[in-house]
Amino acid sequence: MPSPDDCVIEVATLEQRYAASEGARPDFAPHATPEEYRKWYDRKLKAEFAQNGRWIGWVLIQRRTSGPVLSYLETVRRDGWSKDDEGKVEMTSMYGVVYVFTPPANRKHGYATRLLRQLHYVLAGTQGALPPWPEAWGALPDLPSTLNLPPSCLSYLSSAAPLGFYERAYIGPDENHRLGWEERRTTENAFVRGKLDGVNTSATFGDSGYTAVDIYYGEMLSLASEMSKVEQSALERTTIPPGTTAFRVDPTSEGTLAFIKPHLPLGCDRFPERDTSTWVHGVRLIPSGQSPRPYHATDPICLFIPHGFKDGELLITYLDGWDERLVKPLLAYLREVGRKMDPPCDMVWAWGLDETAGFVQAVCEMGGKYGYRGDKAHRFCPAGVAWYGDAQAKGRLDGLQAWAWL
C-alpha cells in the first residue's frame, strides 16, 4: 500500500463517485439493493443543491497514477453570513463535509485522515490563515481552474464516528496539533425528543388569535427569502465574544431547504421514498381574520418531516417565533398530524434549540428528554467545525437546526 505522503487529493470523476457510493452502501444503507441505491444517488445528482459545482466528490489517490481510489468524501457548498467580534457582518461561503468512506481493504493506513487534512487547504484557499502545506505531503494538488470553489474560513462535518476522530484530522503539520473538526457541546448539537401522546392540552391557535396554515413540501422554496431575513437578523443580534467569528447558513442557498428530504433515505434504509405529495411538512400562523397571504418573517413557523430518520417520528427541521402561549397548541397540532400519518408518528424530535426554549420545556414537561447528540448514550451525527482563520481565534456555526444539517 502506498504511503499517505505519496498520495494527493483530486476531484472525483463521475465513475469514481458511483464506485465509491456503491462501496459505501453496506455501511450507509445495508438493506438497499445496488439498484435502489444507484437510483437514490442519481436523484441526488439531479437535485438543486448538487448543481453549479456545489456538490463535489473528492478522492485520495497515489501520485502519478489514475487510481485506485484510496479514500473518498464529498463536500457541499452553502452560502451564509459571518459576523466577527467587531460586529462586521459579511456574506460568505462555507462547506459541509459528508460521506467520508475508505474501502475496507484500504483502512488503517491513514488515507481518510490524509484526504481530510489536505481538504482543509482546498476549502480555505487563499482566504484562510493555515500553516504552510507540509513538505512531507509533496506538491500541492493541481486542481481544475474551472472548479467553482470559493474560499472559506469554515467547514463543518456531521458524523457518528467516535468523539475526537475528526479532530485528529489536523490542520497543518503534525507538531502543530491544530485540531480539525472540533465537536462542541453547544446548542447546535443539542436535541429534544418526546412522545406526542404525552400532549395534554385543549388549547388551540385560535385561543391566541391565530389561524394555522399547513405547509407542503412543494412550498418549501417559497419560504426561503423570508426565512433568510430571520436568520440574518438572528446573527446581527448575536453578541460575539472576543476572538470569535460566528457563521450562519442562509436558507436561500441553492437547494438547502430541500436538501434533507432526498438525503434522508440514506439514514433510514427506506427505498424507494414514499409518495409524500399529500403529507403536511409544516405549519405557519397568521393573525385570525386576515386573508390568506404568503409567509412573512414575523410569522411563527414550524417545518418538519414525517417519518424523518425513523418511522414513527416527526423530525422538526425549523422552528421560529413560538412564544409560550403557542407552544402547547403547536404540540397538539403535531400530535394530530402524527395521528393522521400512515403509519402514525408518535414521536417528535428537534435539534439546535436552547434548553430554555419554550418548546424544549414543554416537551420535557410531557416526559421528553433534552440532551446532546454527541453524548455516548444519544450519539447521532453531531457537527464538528473546522476553522481556517487565525489560529489564536476560533469560528463557530450558529443556528444549526436540522434544515441546515449535512
User: Tell me, what DSSP letter sits at residue 282?
Assistant: E
**Which of the residue ranges 23-32, 217-226, 297-306 has the most confident prediction, judged by mean pLDDT?**
297-306
pLDDT value of residue 264: 58
Say whether pLDDT at 266 is over 50: no
- Retrieve residue 102's grid coordinates: 475508505
- Mean pLDDT for 224-237 is 97
**Dihedral sign, CA of 8, 13, 14, 16?**
negative
pLDDT band at 48 (very low <50, low <70, confident <90, very high): confident
pLDDT at 262: 59
In this structure, what C-alpha cell is assigned to residue 260?
434533507
Reply yes or no on whether the pLDDT at 68 is more than 90. Answer: yes
Q: If pLDDT is split at 50, 70 and 90, which confidence band does 176 have?
A: confident
Residue 203 burial (CB < 10 Å; 0-12/13-18/19+)? middle
The tens digit of pLDDT for each residue in 8-25 reads: 999 999 999 999 999 998
How much is the pTM?
0.93
List residues bridging with 60 in a β-sheet. 9, 71
- The confidence band for 6, taking pLDDT boundaries of 50, 70 and 90, is very high
Residue 61 has pLDDT above 90, yes or no: yes
- The pLDDT, as a whole number, for residue 263 is 60
Identify the weakest region by mean pLDDT among 68-77, 110-119, 176-185, 374-383.
374-383
| 113-169 per-position pLDDT tens digit | 999 999 999 999 977 789 999 999 999 999 998 999 999 999 999 988 888 899 999
Express each pLDDT in 305-327 by its tens digit: 888 888 889 999 999 999 999 99
What pLDDT does residue 322 have? 96
Q: Could you report how far apart the first and last alpha carbons of the chain are, in Å? A: 32
Determine the pLDDT at residue 375.
Answer: 87
Residue, of 377 and 45, whose pLDDT is higher: 45
Checking if the pLDDT of 265 tops 60, the result is no
- Better-predicted residue by pLDDT, 128 or 54: 54
Q: How confident is the model at residue 268 (pLDDT cuts 50, 70, 90)?
A: very low
Average pLDDT, the chain: 91
Omega cis (within 30) before 343: yes
pLDDT single digits (tens) 346-385? 999 999 999 999 999 999 999 999 999 988 877 888 999 9
For 387-405, what is the mean pLDDT?
A: 94
- Residue 270 pLDDT > 70: no
> Is the separation of the CB atoms in 28 and 229 below 8 Å?
no
As given in the structure block, the three cell numbers for residue 332 are 397538539
Superfamily of domain 4-183+390-404: Gcn5-related N-acetyltransferase (GNAT) (3.40.630.30)
4-183+390-404 and 188-378 share one fold: yes
What is the per-residue pLDDT for 276?
Answer: 67
CATH fold group of domain 188-378: Aminopeptidase (3.40.630)
CB 338 within 8 A of CB 279: no
Report the chain's C-alpha Rg in angstroms. Answer: 22
Amino acid identity for residue 284 in this structure: R
For the chain, the structural domain boundaries read 4-183+390-404, 188-378
